[in-house]
Amino acid sequence: MNKFFTLIIIIFLIVFGSVFHEDIRDLYDNFFFDPCTHPIKYNIGRLDPGFGLSKQEFLNAIKEAEELWEEATGKDLFEYSKDGVMSINLVYDERQEGTDLLKNIDVAYRTNKEKYDKKKELYDQYVDDFNILKQQRDSLYVIWDSRYQSYEREVKKWNNRSSAPPADVYQRLNNEKKALGELMERIKLLDAQVSSLINAINSLGDELNALGSKVNETANDYNGINHSFEEEFEQGVYISSFKFKEINIYQFDNHQKLVRVLAHEMGHSLGIGHLDNPEDIMHAVNIGKNNKVSKADIAELDSICSQNIINRLFDQR
C-alpha cells in the first residue's frame, strides 16, 4: 500500500512538474535570486512607440545603466537574456506626453525668439540709420534754406533796380542757383531714403509685434503645462513579486536622463532603497547632473551583499 501511494505521489509530481515547470522555475528565480553572486537576467518587454526608440536603442541605454553599476562595483550584476526573469518596459502615458509637448513648445519658443531677436536687431539698425539720415537731411535743409533766402533777397534787390547786375554778380547768382538746385537734389535723395526707412521700420514693427505675441504665447503655454508637472511623479518604478519582476520607465527628458532612471530602478532590483544625496543614483528624485554610481550607492550594495540570503529575501526594498 505504501509503495502504491509513493508511486501515485511520484506520478503526480512528474505530471505537475511537466505542466508547471516554467512557473516553478520563474517562482524559484524570483524568490531565490541572488544578484550579489549571480547576475539578474533581464529582457525587454513592452516598448511603446510613443518614445520613438527602437529595441536596440533601448537595449543600448539599458547596457549603459548596467555598466554604471558593474564598472563601479566590479561585479557582474546584470545580464541580458530573452528569457530573463526581469522585464524592462517603456510605458508611454501622460507623463512622457507632457514632456514631449513641453519640448515642442520649447522648440517653437526658441524659434520665434530667434526670429524676434534677429528682426529686433534689424529694426534697431533701421532706427539708427533713420536718425542719422534724418539729421543729415535736416541739417542740409537748414543750410539750403539759409542760402536760398540770401539768394532770393539778392535777386529781388537787382530786379528792383533799373540796371542789370554786373557780369560777375550775374555769374555768381547763376552759380548759386545751380548749387542750390544740386543741394536740393541731395536733400530729396535723403528724404526718399528717410521715407523708405520709415516704411521699413513700420513694417518690421508690425512683424515684431506679431512675433512678440507668439513668443509670449508659447512662454505662457510652457509655464502653464510645466506648472501642472510641478508635483513629483514617478519617472520609473521597480515591481517585485513571487511571480515576476519588472521595471517600468514612464518619463525621461533625454538619453542621459533615461540611462540615469534605468540605473536607479536597476538599483532597486538589487535591493537598494533611496539615499539622501541628490548626486546618488539612488536619490529619490532624478536630478543628478552626472551619470555616476556614488560611493554611497556602492556602500549600500556592499551592505546588502554582506547579509545572508534569508535576510535579503525578507529585506527587499
| 281 CB burial (10 A radius; 0-12, 13-18, 19+) | buried
Interatomic CA distance for residues 21 and 146, integer angstroms: 111
Give the model's pLDDT for residue 234.
Answer: 76
Do 133 and 190 form a contact (C-beta atoms < 8 A)?
Answer: yes
Q: In this structure, how many other beta carbons lie within 10 angstroms of the beta carbon of residue 111?
A: 13
According to the model, what pLDDT value does residue 104 have? 81
DSSP 8-state class, residue 164: P
Residue-wise pLDDT for 56-82, tens only, equals 999 999 999 999 999 999 999 999 999
Range of lowest pLDDT (66-75, 186-195, 280-289, 296-305): 280-289
* pLDDT given for residue 101 in this prediction: 79
Predicted pLDDT at 198: 95
Sorting pLDDT into bands at 50, 70 and 90, what band is 262?
A: very high
Query: In Å, what is the CA distance from 155 to each residue of 139, 172, 180?
Result: 24, 11, 14
Least confident stretch, 74-83, 143-152, 283-292:
283-292
Measured CA to CA, the distance from residue 214 to residue 206 in angstroms comes to: 13
Give the tens place of pLDDT for each residue, 225-260.
665 554 444 788 999 887 779 999 988 888 999 999
How many C-beta atoms surround the C-beta of residue 315 within 10 A? 11
pLDDT for res 251: 87
Q: Which residues pair with 40 in a beta bridge?
A: 78
Q: How confident is the model at residue 312 (pLDDT cuts 50, 70, 90)?
A: very low
* Rounded Cα–Cα distance for residues 57 and 241 (Å): 28
* Separation CA 31–CA 16 (nearest Å): 20
Q: Is 155 exposed, middle or buried (0-12, 13-18, 19+ CB in 10 A)?
A: middle
What is residue 176's predicted lDDT score, i.e. its pLDDT?
94
Query: Looking at residue 65, what is its pLDDT?
Result: 96
DSSP H helices, 229-272, are 255-269
Report d(CA 199, CA 258) in Å as an integer: 52
Give the mean pLDDT of 186-190.
Answer: 96
Model confidence band, residue 16 (pLDDT cutoffs 50, 70, 90): very low
Q: Which CATH class is domain 102-228?
A: mainly alpha
Where is pLDDT greater, at 71 or 284? 71
* Overall pTM surpassing 0.85 (yes/no): no
SS3 84: coil
Is the pLDDT confidence value at 197 over 90?
yes
Q: How far is CA 87 from the centre of its chain?
A: 29
In terms of C-beta density within 10 A (0-12 exposed, 13-18 middle, 19 or more buried), how is residue 217 classed?
A: middle
Banded pLDDT at 128 (limits 50, 70, 90): very high
The average pLDDT across 138-145 equals 96
- The C-alpha cell 539750403 sits at 144
Query: What is residue 11's predicted lDDT score, i.e. its pLDDT?
Result: 52
Name the residue ranges covered by the structural domains of the chain: 21-92+250-313, 102-228
> Distance (Å, rounded) from C-alpha 1 to C-alpha 7?
10
How confident is the model over 18-71, as pLDDT tens digits? 444 444 444 444 444 567 788 999 999 999 999 999 999 999 999 999 999 999
Instruction: Tell the CATH topology of 21-92+250-313.
Output: Collagenase (Catalytic Domain) (3.40.390)
Q: What mean pLDDT, rounded, does the chain reach?
A: 84
